[in-house]
Amino acid sequence: MSHTFPVHVYYEDTDLAGIVYYANYLKFIERARTEWVRAAGIDQVALKADEGIVFAVRRIEADYLAPAKFDDELTVETDVEAMTGVRIVLNQVVKRGGEVVFQSQVTLVALSDTGQPTRLPAIIRRKLH
């Protein structure tokens, strides 16, 4: 399932040079992942309460390609690259217009309430794929 999420760059997102502080891209893609899951019809609070399952980032690979600046209108595109019973690999790209300014590959894992890897229910995998 492909998903697009808009981001407006605020002054608080930038550093002294007026460009987006590198760690804020991770916040942008985190918000986009939350909205991607919500758009798939999954309530993460209910998933935790009913199934004891949460998503956690296991790995992230990030490339900063061009600086975004105060007041830029960005979009975060989220696409599934691979999915197993426990793991989801996503490609997330931040764009300004048609220009890619940041790209990442994020590996999520499903964790039980004890913090151990656990299988995602098949219905959840179908909704996210």
Decide if 15 is catalytic. Answer: yes
Q: What is the dihedral of CA 121, 103, 59, 126, to 10 degrees?
A: 10
Residue 21: Cβ within 10 Å count: 13
- Listed in sequence order, the residues at least 6 apart from 59 whose beta carbon sits closer than 8 Å to its beta carbon are 106, 107
Helices (H) and strands (E) counted in the chain, each on its own, are 3, 5
Q: Which of 21, 23, 1, 33 is nearest to 107 (CA)?
A: 33
From the list 13, 15, 63, 79, the catalytic residue is 15
Which are the catalytic amino acids? Answer: 15
